[in-house]
């Protein structure tokens, strides 16, 4: 049996053969190059979109969230007495949820919305006002540009303070200097204690693509207790949304189950609330991305298939020129298996070289497409490996027939072949 030296020599002669027949070899690799480029190109489009939405989620304050919102029931008929008697989602639900597993829950944000007339010395507008608690800004991914957020005592005492998003600040204080100024929210005069940084996110960086965070910059936030007590007179402290931040994403599901049972008890066994596991939702969306991957892979496979068939034809045609060479090799002692290995080595080397070129072309192709649609190019190592592995698999498969044919030649007939 031959050792690794034989493999290297086989590789060397394969390389010589390829170099000597550069035109034919390039033609043979064309299909591989295109196939690999299209697999990689397709993959990197989904990779890039995936990376982009990951960035989006980071900017939104992370995936590790479980939202609870009130659910309107009784839409199809009159609500039952039990449903009417329910108080909806309340502060109590938040406290019970936090108490459920205080080690897992890093924070809970509260949101209570109101519409109100908002007035400053410069502007008077009907606006949405958000009652929030201390954790809200961090959980939703806001950064404070000037001043401060809400303290525990602000919330506890329903302090008349406000934090403005960048757009709201611009609108109500066009000439600046609003920090510490008083605005009226409905009938309540509140002091502006904080201004938030502007938030910008364009999923695709192309002209005409709007800022996805435009509405976030319009935020006018006051303590949730202020909305409940002084604007709405709600003794039950009802809320429009609770968001639990649970850093260990894989525990969200179990937490959601226990939270559901606790809330059901609070809500007289009525389903007047719904849970939204953000991580699970994102996972589901990713699976859709995987479906695209399969489609792209299929189109790449078709290219490789076409290239492979062309390849077989070229190899079979070139085999005719090489019958005599095979005959001589057999005469001096090469067994059929050796001839087979030589042909396979050559085909696989050619495939590997073509794949490398194809990966390069694929990168260029991906760069061009993502640049055109305005998404930063994000490629994953796995896509390179997939494209390469597919090409090698097809190269191997399609090399089998010519190599097998060559190895089955009769030495006598091969030697006499003209």
Partner 1 sequence: MSSIIHTRALTKTFGSNGTAVHALRGIDLSVDKGEFVALVGPSGSGKSTLMAIIGCLDAPTSGTYTLDGHEVQGLSGGELARIRNTKVGFIFQSYNLMPKANILRNVELPMLYAGIGRKERRERAMALLEKVGMPEKANVLPGNLSGGQRQRVAIARALANNPALLLADEPTGALDSQTGAEVLALFQELNAAGNTLVLVTHDPSIAALAQRRVELRDGLIAGAVEGAA
Based on the shown chain and the rule CB under 8 A, indicate whether residue 13 belongs to the binding site for partner 1.
yes
**H helix intervals, 73-141:** 81-85, 91-100, 136-139
Which segment (3-11, 64-72, 188-196, 349-357) binds partner 1 by CB under 8 A?
A: 3-11
Q: Find the helix or strand (DSSP H, E) in which 70 lies.
A: strand 65-70
Residues in the chain: 418
Measured between alpha carbons, how far is 327 from 409 in angstroms, rounded to an integer?
A: 8
Using CB under 8 A as the binding rule, whether residue 333 contacts partner 1 is answered as: yes
Among 219, 329, 358, 406, binds partner 1 (CB under 8 A): 329
In the set 203, 338, 357, 404, which binds partner 1 (CB under 8 A)?
338
Pairing of strands 107-119, 241-245: antiparallel
Determine the interface stretch with partner 1 among 11-19, 97-105, 171-179, 299-307 (rule: CB under 8 A): 11-19
Q: How far apart are CA 46 and CA 286, in angstroms?
A: 10
Rounded Cα distance between 258 and 256, Å, is 6
DSSP lists the bridge partners of residue 117 as 126
Q: Is 321 in the site for partner 1 (CB under 8 A)?
A: no
Element (H, E) at 65: strand 65-70
Structure tokens at 289: 């991305």
Nearer of residues 12 and 95 to partner 1, judged by Cβ: 12
Choice between 360 and 411, CB closer to partner 1: 411
Q: How many residues bind partner 1 (CB under 8 A)?
A: 27
Candidate residues 219, 314, 330, 406; the one interacting with partner 1 per rule CB under 8 A: 330
Q: b/e map of 26-52 (b: 16 or more CB within 10 Å)?
A: eebbbbbbbbbbbbbbbbbbbbbbbbb
Instruction: Pick out residues in 354-413 that bind partner 1 (CB under 8 A).
Output: 410-412
Q: Closest distance between partner 1 and the C-beta of residue 376, in Å?
A: 47
Q: Which position among 298, 331, 364, 393 is part of the footprint of partner 1 (CB under 8 A)?
A: 331
Chain residues 57-116 in contact with partner 1, contact rule CB under 8 A: none
Contact 271, 82 (CB under 8 A): no
Binding mask 17-56 for partner 1 (x = CB under 8 A): x--x------------------------------------
Residues in contact with partner 1 by CB under 8 A are 1-3, 5-6, 9, 13, 16-17, 20, 324-325, 328-338, 410-412, 415
């Amino acid at each position: 049996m031959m050792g690794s030296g034989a493999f290297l020599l086989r590789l060397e002669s394969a390389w010589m053969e390829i170099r000597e027949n550069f035109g034919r070899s390039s033609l043979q690799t064309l299909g591989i190059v295109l196939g690999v480029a299209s697999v990689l190109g397709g993959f990197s489009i989904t990779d890039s979109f995936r990376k982009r939405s990951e960035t989006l989620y980071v900017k939104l304050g992370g995936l590790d969230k479980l939202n609870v919102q009130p659910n309107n029931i009784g839409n199809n008929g009159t609500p039952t007495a039990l449903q009417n008697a329910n108080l909806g989602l309340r502060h109590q639900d938040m406290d019970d949820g936090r108490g459920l597993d205080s080690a897992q829950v890093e924070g809970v944000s509260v949101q209570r919305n109101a519409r109100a007339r908002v007035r400053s010395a410069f502007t008077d507008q009907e606006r949405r006002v958000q009652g929030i608690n201390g954790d809200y800004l961090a959980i939703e991914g806001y950064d404070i540009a000037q001043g401060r957020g809400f303290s525990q005592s602000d919330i506890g005492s329903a302090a008349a303070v406000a934090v403005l998003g960048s757009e709201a600040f611009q609108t109500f204080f066009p000439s600046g200097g609003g920090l510490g100024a008083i605005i009226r929210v409905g009938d309540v005069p509140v002091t502006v204690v904080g201004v938030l940084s502007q938030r910008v996110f364009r999923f695709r960086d192309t002209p005409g693509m709007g800022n996805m965070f435009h509405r976030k910059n319009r935020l006018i936030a006051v303590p949730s207790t202020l909305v409940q007590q002084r604007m709405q007179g709600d003794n039950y402290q009802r809320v429009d949304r609770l968001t639990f931040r649970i850093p260990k994403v894989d525990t969200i599901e179990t937490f959601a189950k226990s939270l559901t049972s606790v809330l059901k008890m609070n809500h007289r066994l009525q389903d007047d609330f719904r849970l939204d596991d953000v991580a699970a939702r994102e996972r589901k969306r990713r699976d859709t991305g995987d479906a695209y991957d399969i489609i792209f892979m299929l189109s790449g496979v078709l290219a490789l298939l076409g290239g492979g068939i062309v390849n077989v034809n070229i190899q079979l045609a070139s085999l005719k020129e090489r019958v005599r060479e095979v005959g001589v090799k057999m005469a001096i002692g090469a067994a059929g298996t050796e001839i087979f290995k030589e042909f396979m080595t050559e085909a696989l080397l050619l495939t590997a070289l073509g794949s490398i070129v194809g990966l390069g072309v694929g990168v260029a192709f991906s760069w061009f497409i993502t640049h055109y649609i305005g998404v930063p190019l994000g490629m994953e190592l796995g896509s390179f490996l997939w494209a390469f592995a597919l090409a090698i698999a097809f190269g191997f498969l399609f090399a089998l027939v010519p190599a097998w044919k060559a190895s089955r030649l009769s030495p006598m007939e091969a030697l006499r072949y003209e």
